[in-house]
Structure 1
């Protein structure tokens, strides 16, 4: 999961107002419902101890429609601190349970659960003359360049004349050459962008030619859509569906890989030098030492809502409040374990994976793959 979205709230001290709202826009009484939501939310925040300036900022934001919001209902998440809205981002749909919270760290875990792994996909719209690249991921769709091949000769004739057959061979060579250049550009764009999958869109023969010329490792991550094309107006809902399916497959496979590694690393045979950690005390220690490589979070589990103690800095967290005095925090506060660990992991560049399948989730709902073993850390 790419966590650049969380950077504004990770790098800034609280306390934080966290708001998950379902805001109607298309109904006749949308404005009235917005006003009721804004008033109820800010009243709840004020009752929880939020300052007046932050409550006012939240109220004003909830009365304002976000640019680009569409649909009968729009899910929306706001994080505010010290009288300012720090992050205002849409959800894929209405939140499962709208709520407002006030605390020392932002309630980011429900946001991560809603957006999922969100793998970045390189979309390639191609024909025999070249291709246009786009990246689809956490920031929507972004143009990612293009490649142009030879434009002549590209069209075969139906004549059986020997000279025409020679011309047709040239056409075939042009197709092959252009496909090779497109494949090279796809490889370069894939490596440059950090994408996790490729979707080829275009005519069947054009797709197959490019697919066959990709390097083997990349070929295994490349899918073909049988809908749409490169020409303007060729897009369709079926193309969007194909891309969504590819991204869903990548997310599932990533979760399987991570949870398999966690199970192996947390096994009985690795107690002397664990590659994984589970349980609040072990996870808190690993977070303080910046040893979490990947944090696993399940929306369900006994540990996610357990209380830990936190300070102003992301690596100031402890099982007991007295421990934070040794970390330089004079005024420790209580926070949920999942949000405190997410804040700490994100601040140190760790990956975070949401595990929705209870059969694959760590016991208690929280776990971590570690950057180094105990033996490595002690050397």
Structure 2
């Protein structure tokens, strides 16, 4: 999971109000039920010690939510009398959870967002160009079109049946190849600003494959091809299946890198692609992962539901790199008033600050011991 959406939480020192609640309106008594849930959330914040202005900000934010089109759930993070971040959730939390703590309680987000299809950039490709849409939470937003070079009716005129037929077909083929290159180049330029985590190519098999082959390697890694029109329930199902498959492969690759990186010191292993990875390029357990996070070494933070390490407390300070397994660690960093927080919350803050990703390892898959590990940017 790309943690960039948590960046607004880095600008304040807290304490933080964190609320995870059901905001769906699918039932007949939804309005009354929502009012009770909202009231319970604010009351639980107050009971936890949240200040009046922050409770009021959460209350007003919940009251201002639209009556229609709300996502199944939301996670709110507020501090200093202001709601700093509102995260729509694809699934409803099972209960109202409200905390008042030194750090935002972001740990539950992995479980609530992990199965959800992230924001996608969808390109419906044909021989004339592509129609682009940003797709999120089941809704598509048009982003315009990309058009290739125009020539003789955009390539749809019937070719002449004379000795110039080969030349005609060659020019049509050349125009199509140029169009695929133009679309791929536009997608590469647009991707960093799209806020998407998956690139979806639809349209004819040959056309979308031509675009895929012209994408830069880093974009090919997050691109999938789907049949059919990018609308309706059938597309939603295919997209969910494609995301699950893509995510599964990515988790498997990270776990392989993790297991390789924590191998026997002095040993080496050659991966399937021929690259040799030295042990020391991964960390497991709270002391090792905390040390890596403190030095901005995290490439991917691995958390597994059911593990005990993510919930264990660590010591933290005002900055994301203020991390330690005991109070003395923070004192040595010059932190005058260290506080404790769950390891998951503190490490997610550190991972956000160093642009690392976070991955929830399925319970059925052998993961890091204790439920906490990391793949590092460089060997420890």
Corresponding position of 1:305: 311
How big is the alpha-carbon RMSD for the aligned residues of Structure 1 and Structure 2?
3.2
Instruction: Judge conservation of contact 2:312–2:342 (CA < 8 Å) in 1.
Output: yes
Q: Distance in 2 between matches of 1:164 and 1:109?
A: 67
Local SS of the residue matching 1:164: coil
User: Partner of 1:176 in structure 2?
Assistant: 173
**Quick one: structure 1 residues 326 and 198, their matched pair in 2 at CA, closer, same or farther if it must change by over 3 Å?**
closer
Structure 2: distance between partners of 1:249 and 1:238: 17
Change (3 A) 1:261 1:123: same
Is the CA contact (8 Å cut-off) linking 1:25 and 1:31 kept in structure 2? yes
Distance in 2, matches of 1:81 and 1:197, equals 32
Instruction: Please state how far the C-alpha of 1:107 moved relative to its aligned partner.
Output: 1.2
Distance in structure 1 (CA, Å) of the matches to 2:286 and 2:200: 40
Contact 1:150 1:174 in 2 (8 A): no
Structure 1 Cα separation of the partners of residues 287 and 222 of structure 2: 38
Aligned to 2:77: 79
Alignment of 1:257-268 (within 5 A): 257-268=253-264
Among 102, 105, 108, the residue aligned to 1:107: 105
Q: Report the 3-state secondary structure (helix = DSSP H, G, I; strand = E; otherwise coil) of the residue aligned with 1:89.
A: strand
Q: Identify the match of residue 296 of structure 2 among 276, 290, 293.
A: 290
Question: Which stretch of structure 1 is more off in the superposition, 316-325 or 333-342?
Answer: 316-325
1:50 counterpart residue number: 50
Note the C-alpha offset of 1:309: 1.3
1:335 counterpart SS class: strand
Q: Give the alignment partner of residue 184 of structure 2, picking from 168, 187, 191.
A: 187
1:245-281: CA deviations, max 9, x gaps? Answer: 3222221111111110000101223599611111111
Alpha-carbon deviation of 1:60? 1.8
Partner residue in 2 for 1:227: 228
**Which residue number in structure 1 is paired with residue 339 of structure 2?**
333
Alignment-derived partner of residue 350 in structure 1: 356
Cα offsets for 1:311-343 (capped at 9, x unmatched): 111111211123212212222211101111111
Q: Does 1:63 align with 2:54?
A: no
3-state DSSP of counterpart to 2:87: strand
State whether residues 146 and 186 of structure 2, in contact with CA within 8 Å, keep that contact through their aligned partners in structure 1. no
**Cα shift at 1:348:** 1.8
Q: Which consecutive residues of structure 1, in runs of 5 or more, have no partner in the other structure?
A: 230-234, 375-379
Moved more, 109-118 or 19-28: 109-118
Q: Is the 8 A contact 1:310 1:324 kept in 2?
A: yes
- What is the CA-CA distance between 1:239 and the residue it aligns to? 2.9
Partner residue of 1:232? none
Q: Is the contact between residue 156 and residue 171 of structure 1 (CA under 8 Å) also seen in structure 2?
A: no
Report the number of matched residues: 362
**Deviation per residue, 1:206-239 (Å, 9 max, x gap):** 446x36964796778764433127xxxxx33323
Mapped partners of 1:47, 1:251: distance in 2:
39
Deviation (angstroms), 1:200 = 3.1
Kindly indicate whether the alpha-carbon contact (under 8 Å) linking 1:34 and 1:62 is maintained by their aligned counterparts in 2. no
Deviations 1:56-99 (A, max 9, x none): 1112222232487347xx21110011111001121012024431
Aligned to 2:123: 124
**TM-score normalised per structure 1:** 0.83
Say if 2:156 is the partner of 1:155: yes
Deviation of 1:42 (Å): 1.4
Q: Which residue does the alignment assign to 1:35?
A: 35
2:285 is the counterpart of 1:279: yes
Find the counterpart in structure 1 of residue 201 from structure 2. 200
**Structure 2 residue 86 is the aligned partner of structure 1 residue 88:** yes
- Alignment partners' CA distance in 2, 1:258 and 1:202: 31
CA distance in 1, matches of 2:213, 2:282: 39
SS at match of 2:23: strand
Q: How far did 1:135 drift?
A: 5.0
Structure 2 counterpart of 1:8: 8
Distance 1:263 1:142, change over 3 A: farther
Residue pair 2:184, 2:211 contacting (<8 A) in 1 also = no
Say if 2:247 is the partner of 1:251.
yes
SS at match of 2:307: coil
Alignment of 1:362-373 (within 5 A): 362-373=368-379
- Partners of 1:182 and 1:266 in 2: how far apart? 46
